[in-house]
Structure 1
Amino acid sequence: MLTSLPNLLTLGRILAIPALIILLYMNEPGTRWAALVLYILACATDWLDGKLARSMGEVSPLGRFLDPIADKLLVAAIIIMLVALSDISGVSLLAAIVILCREILVSGLREYLAELRVPMPVSRLAKWKTMVQMTALGVLILGPAGPALLMLPLVGDVLLWIAAVLTLITGYDYLMRGIAHMKAH
């Protein structure tokens, strides 16, 4: 049901993306801080919508469909904006590309396996990857607007590379599991 609280939270995450893009595009210290706050709220809904859906018994096909799409749209939009603003640049572009390619790969794999009625549950390591990735992007959003002493651009780049390594590991794991199911069918 579209109007259930968990689904509304997921839709809210999707609707936050244009506001995040505008705030980042403005690229002022105040708008960077506002973007960070909005991004943190969007990330919190990622955790909260699933928890509420399970606790309220409102897990729905629509929610299972929308939630990963909302996550991938949010990540892709933020990465593209950070690249456009040169907050992700140089060799760190490779980390961003790895992250985006894995998201596309896993989405396609899940879609294919769904047709076979094969579930592809999220692994514990993939949850860690998501947490590191969300943290990296949050640090990079604030980046130049944060206190210089914290070296946020450097910290964000390091976290982005850690997320990229975890992305490669979890992407490979999902791919191998998916291929095993494909061979069985």
Structure 2
Amino acid sequence: MPTIPNKLTAIRLFAGPAIVLWFVFQELVARPHAMGRGWWLMSSEMAVGLEWAMVIAYTTICFTDWFDGRIARAFPNQGSAWGVVWDPVADKVWVGTVALLVVFGGPVFSWDLEYFWWIVLLEVLFITTIIARELLVAYWRKISTEEIPVKYCGKVKTTAQMIAFGFLLARGGPISMQFVSAEAFGWIGTMGLAVATALTVISLYQYAKDSAVGKEFLARYPILNFGF
């Protein structure tokens, strides 16, 4: 019988492809209507409502990762072998998909914004670092004979990165215009991504120092042993 954590994991697993379709629809149809230049039969109020619905859905999906872990730990009968395997896969699919939308979605679709090339390069660098860390820690957990617990710094990193992604996804849309401006949302998101990247590096070092496979990795590449 499917458990609640498994259902939440499944939602997050399929949310990645779904948010791509929703994002494209928002950028090509709903957002132009909200900005008063649409061509399809849709009111600007409906377009703004659809973008708010996307923000709410994004926030809800981000919270599912926290909820399914809490439920599985609090109620042992809710844990399952399926969840152990697919929960980290769902995390990687979700984070990777949103990261790709952040990097390519803004410059490709928001043609009316001025995107500085160095900001795009910074975002690519930050997101590449985050994804590389996720894959490396996942590999360490797979080959390790000991349990590698989640670090508090890693949890803060995840929170910072999803908040940053949210601002970057919403930049250039009616929501950003209602509150501040598209440029302000972009800068907030980029700075949040920089914070998340710094926490990514720190948490990776903590994982490396506190696990056998991590210590072996640092011994093999001593140049990465920063000593903090």
Does the pair score TM above 0.5? yes
Shift of 1:121: 0.4
Partner of 1:155: 188
**CA deviations over 1:57-110 (Å, ceiling 9, x no partner):** 222232222222211110100111221123671322111111111111111111
Which protein has the larger Cα radius of gyration, Structure 1 or Structure 2?
Answer: 2
One-letter amino acid matched to 2:132? C
Partner of 1:180: 215
- Say whether 1:44 aligns with 2:60: no
Whole-Å separation in 2 of the counterparts to 1:120 and 1:181: 14
Q: Percent identity?
A: 31
Decide which of 67, 70, 75 is 2:87's aligned counterpart.
67
Partner of 1:168: 201
CA 20–129 in structure 1, closer or farther in 2 if over 3 Å, else same: same
Whole-Å separation in 2 of the counterparts to 1:126 and 1:112: 20
Partner of 1:24: 23
One-letter amino acid matched to 2:75? M
Whole-Å separation in 2 of the counterparts to 1:101 and 1:182: 15
Structure 1 residues without counterparts, runs of 5 or longer: none
CA 181–63 in structure 1, closer or farther in 2 if over 3 Å, else same: farther
Whole-Å separation in 2 of the counterparts to 1:19 and 1:38: 11
TM-score with structure 1 setting the length:
0.87
**CA deviations over 1:93-142 (Å, ceiling 9, x no partner):** 111111111111111111111xx2x1010011111111111111111121
Partner of 2:74: 55
Whole-Å separation in 2 of the counterparts to 1:179 and 1:90: 29
Q: Superposition RMSD on alpha carbons, in Å?
A: 2.1
